[in-house]
Amino acid sequence: MTRPLFEVTPNTWDFLKLPMITPTGFREYDARWKYPEEINLPGVTALGLGLGTQMRRRGIRPEIAVGNDYRDYSLAIKNALVLGLMQAGIHVKDIGPAVSPMAYFAQFHLDVPAVAMVTASHNPNGWTGVKMGFERPLTHGPDEMAELKEIVLSGHGAQAPGGGYEFVEGVKEAYLDDLVGDFRMTRKLKVVCATGNGTASAFAPELFERIGVEVVPSHNDLDYTFPNYNPNPEDMHMLHDMAETVLSTGADLALGFDGDGDRCGVVDDEGEEIFADKVGVIMARDLAKLYPNSTFVADVKSTGLFASDPELKKYGVKADYWKTGHSHMKRRVKEIGALAGFEKSGHYFLAEPIGRGYDCGMRVAVEICKLMERNPDKSMSDLRKALPKTWSTPTMSPYCADTEKYDVLERLVQKLVAKAEAGETVAGRAIKEVVTVNGARVILDNGSWGLVRASSNTPNLVVVCESAESEEEMRAIFTDIDTVIRSEPSVGDYDQRI
């Protein structure tokens, strides 16, 4: 295999012929590049050859399910990836356009060991990428990604005989059948279905109709230009649009999905955006009654309520805080036998007997409808108000170049740890501890906290703060954490601020 170049001039003979791959596209748990600035089609073929080579090195049965999201260039990317996989001797089962959890489902449905889903997830147009895995329901983590990066960038992809291709019909229908099962609402429920014109538009409205929900459509026409907003239920533009639709239609709640359908966002009947970690606590409370003494995994960006909520304690729940990232969380849920994992970004990992352990926004939507069915006298706002009150920021992401962000973060962690060791305060409170499993989560003496970590997907840091006391304290925590962040001159502007 030809060793890929890091840069090739566009609109040249070489650009059509030589593989180009920017190394920073290999992330902690998937791969993402700007296309065609950071990867070209020959580069994607080299990636496929490398992925197939990795399968053979690890003794994985040479069969893989491959799908693509709904972007105007995703089919071309997938075809280039498939070519490389076939060169490596892999038999490809192409499931067609899909949401990511449909591709994960295909591993079980088609009984294949591996998956490769062409998607840039919630990244804006102009991005592409691949989510991949060899051990269902898990996807690649840092070790697998480092190995794949070495194979591809060193030109060690090896051709092998036996490659093949088949297009598999009916996976979408089987996926929806699996989600619906025999469940049908008896409670009347009016739900805003928000898909931001992304891939989930081809799935979510039909899913809701099949379980007996009254659907209020919101941007459900497929349109890969994303004319209204980028489908990302962590983004305030999408959440505000969902809230306005709830209030104008009298809906019971809104459920919104990201570009590849593996995340779900919630707005209640009062138009209040419920951050995904709080939705996780609501779901955990409901599930704990059905499955007492369960363990729930939450990522380090999530609320402290998983550990402190009296209702969860009453049912013997154990909370486990872990690294942010869909691959980290999936693996942790499986390793410790947790019932579910919840991530502030809107990824939920529902294990047996609820789900199969992979992140699926559609599965979460069904389970939230079931939750409402089990609580017929409660509105979503009732369930929100029943939680202990905390004040949380949205996820805020200041720019920091991919080539610098981990070094910058290491220095920030050192500064925050030193601040704690020196007995300094944040928001006027003593620092109880600094958890460094994934960045720095600065926990104060009253349980309030502030977090800074590096984004695994984009050239950004990630900042989240939560107060158990007041909005004023939340803002003060952010101010003090941001003051430390601003000591690093290479950190740029935030995408959004409180």
Q: What pTM, to 2 d.p., does this model score?
A: 0.90
416-473: per-residue pLDDT in tens?
999 999 999 999 999 999 989 999 999 999 989 999 999 987 899 999 999 999 999 9
The DSSP-derived string for 60-123 is: --SEEEEEE-SSTTHHHHHHHHHHHHHHTTPEEEEEEE--HHHHHHHHHHTT-SEEEEE--TTS
At which of 138, 169, 200 does a domain end? 169
Domain shared by 95 and 222, yes or no: no
Asked if pLDDT for residue 160 goes beyond 90, the answer is yes
Residue 262 domain boundaries: 174-271
Q: What's residue 235's pLDDT?
A: 86
Which residue is it, tokens 């890969």? 224
- For 476-485, how does the pLDDT look when each residue is reduced to its tens digit (9 = 90+)? 999 999 999 9
Q: 162 and 253 share a domain?
A: no
The structural domain count of the chain equals: 3
Position 308 scores a pLDDT of: 85
Residues 30 and 79 in one domain: yes
Q: Among residues 251, 271, 291, which one ends one of the domains?
A: 271
* pLDDT tens sequence across 261-307: 999 999 999 999 998 999 999 999 999 999 999 999 999 999 989 98
Q: What is the predicted pLDDT for the residue at 21?
A: 99
| CATH number of residue 438's parent domain | 3.30.310.50
- Give yes or no for a contact between 183 and 370, defined as CB atoms under 8 angstroms apart: yes
Is residue 86 domain-shared with residue 109, that is, in the same domain?
Answer: yes
Residues 33 and 181 occupy one common structural domain: no
Q: To the nearest whole number, what is the mean pLDDT of the chain?
A: 97
> What CA–CA distances, in Å, run from 311 to 284, 289, 317, 377, 388?
10, 10, 9, 19, 10
